Amino acid sequence: MFGSLSDPTRRDILKRLSRRSSSVGEIARHYDISFAGIAKHVDVLSRAGLVTKTRQGKEQIVEIVPEALANANGYLETYRNLWERRLDRLDAYLKKIK
């Protein structure tokens, strides 16, 4: 999941998809990379659960999955909170002994 976010092209695709869903070909048009290359990127995002693909005629429509982003968010928040709680405890301790 973080692995799929680690590539700048994929992050840019996500950014684009956060504005509007589009077909794989439509996405590919905006990049210098080959069509197959973009299809691979979309596949990575799809296997990470960050986007979904649904057939619509010839085209495959790609949509972002906001819940997946929320999950990643939650993950980061867990560690941040743990740490900040630690800092708070330290702070409280320092105040106490002062």
Q: Which is nearer to DNA, 14 or 44 (CB)?
A: 44
**Residue 27 main-chain phi, psi, to 5 deg:** -60, -50
* C-alpha separations of 43 from 4, 27, 75, 91 in Å: 10, 13, 23, 47
Q: How far is the CB of 84 from a second copy (least distance, A)?
A: 6
Q: How distant is the alpha carbon of residue 60 from its chain centre?
A: 20
| Neighbouring residues of 62: CB distance < 8 A, sequence distance ≥ 6 | 17, 21, 22, 23, 24, 27, 42, 45, 46, 51, 52, 53
Interacting residue with DNA among 33, 76, 90, 92 (CB under 7 A): 33
Cβ neighbours of 40 (radius 10 Å): 13
Q: Does 26 bind DNA (CB under 7 A)?
A: yes
Write the binding mask 60 to 79 for a second copy: x where contact by CB under 8 A, - elsewhere. ----x-x--xx-xx--xx-x
Binding site residues, DNA, CB under 7 A: 3, 6-7, 9-10, 23-26, 28, 32-37, 39-44, 53, 55, 57-60
Binding site residues, a second copy, CB under 8 A: 2-3, 5-6, 11, 14-15, 17-20, 64, 66, 69-70, 72-73, 76-77, 79-80, 82-84, 86-87
